[in-house]
């Protein structure tokens, strides 16, 4: 097996260092030999080599979809990549429950919602609903959490009002739809509403979604961002640690 060059890390196909990757995109033209060559030429112009159009098909009148196989030796210095990460132990819900009740002495109050016009609740439900996700139970199952799931298309003002009413410790926001960066606009909207009320520091603010990163969340004024690969217990553990920090009890 070839040794991995972390100073020039390239994609992996079936051999270390082969730089093989797959691209997909849509052209606003009908599928044709000319469209196929245009797709290949564009990818070559981007600097990729060994370009092959693996798939071309129509995705509606006037649109052609492509899957391209190609290679590159232009990598990234993996050793110099810096990104803020959420760190901590992965505890099961019983262990987290025990710590909340022993170290905080009451349930952590959480209000969750999907704000804006996003009608998808799959991420929110995966974290909050009792059944959870992939065998990892949701916050409703915990004795250490008191949860309110407001569902989708909730206005920021409504979310904040409910959080105040419930005397919430934390607000959880799910953002699934990302077209035209609407998730970023929605995330900003919540922060702006909190700032107008002078409450941006009152709640622990957590946001999650497929295009949300911890770095993005921090930049926008949230306490944490969870993305693909996150589980309810990850969110639960973060809320536990953040609550202990706020109460001055973190060891």
pLDDT tens-digit map of 51-97: 999 999 999 999 999 999 999 999 999 998 887 766 666 788 899 99
**Residue that finishes a domain, picked among 49, 78, 107:** 78
Q: What is the pLDDT of residues 115-166, one digit of tens each?
A: 988 788 888 999 999 999 899 999 999 999 999 999 999 999 999 999 999 9
> What was the pLDDT predicted at 89?
65
Based on the domain organization, do 104 and 219 belong to the same domain? Answer: yes
Number of domains in the chain: 2
- Phi and psi at 183, nearest 5°, equal -65, -35
pTM for this prediction: 0.75
**CB of 127 within 8 A of CB of 172?**
yes
Based on the domain organization, do 224 and 138 belong to the same domain? Answer: yes
Q: Which structural domain range is residue 154 located in?
A: 93-246
Based on the domain organization, do 61 and 38 belong to the same domain? Answer: yes
Q: Tell me which residues are annotated as active site.
A: 131
As a whole number of Å, the CA-based R_g of the chain is: 23
Based on the domain organization, do 107 and 201 belong to the same domain? Answer: yes
- The two tokens of residue 142 are 């915990």
> What was the pLDDT predicted at 87?
65
């Amino acid at each position: 097996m070839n040794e991995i060059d972390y100073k020039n890390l390239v994609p992996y196909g079936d051999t270390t260092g082969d730089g093989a990757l797959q691209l997909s995109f849509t052209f606003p033209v009908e599928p044709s030999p000319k469209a196929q060559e245009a797709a290949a030429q564009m990818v070559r112009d981007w600097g990729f080599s060994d370009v092959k159009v693996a798939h071309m098909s129509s995705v509606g009148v006037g649109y052609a979809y492509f899957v391209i196989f190609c290679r590159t030796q232009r990598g990234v210095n993996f050793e110099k990549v810096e990104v803020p990460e959420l760190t901590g132990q992965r505890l099961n819900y019983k262990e987290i429950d025990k710590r909340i009740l022993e170290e905080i002495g009451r349930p952590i109050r959480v209000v969750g919602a999907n704000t804006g016009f996003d009608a998808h609740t799959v991420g929110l439900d995966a974290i909050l609903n009792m059944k959870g996700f992939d065998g990892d139970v949701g916050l409703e199952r915990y004795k250490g959490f008191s949860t309110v799931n407001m569902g989708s298309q909730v206005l920021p003002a409504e979310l904040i009002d409910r959080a105040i009413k419930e005397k919430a410790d934390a607000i959880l926001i799910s953002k699934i739809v990302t077209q035209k960066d609407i998730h970023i606009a929605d995330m900003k909207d919540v922060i702006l509403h909190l700032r107008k009320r002078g409450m941006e520091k009152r709640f622990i603010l957590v946001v999650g979604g497929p295009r949300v990163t911890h770095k993005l969340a921090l930049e926008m004024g949230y306490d944490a961002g969870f993305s693909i690969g996150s589980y309810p217990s990850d969110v639960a553990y973060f809320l536990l640690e953040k609550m202990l920090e706020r109460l001055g009890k973190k060891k």
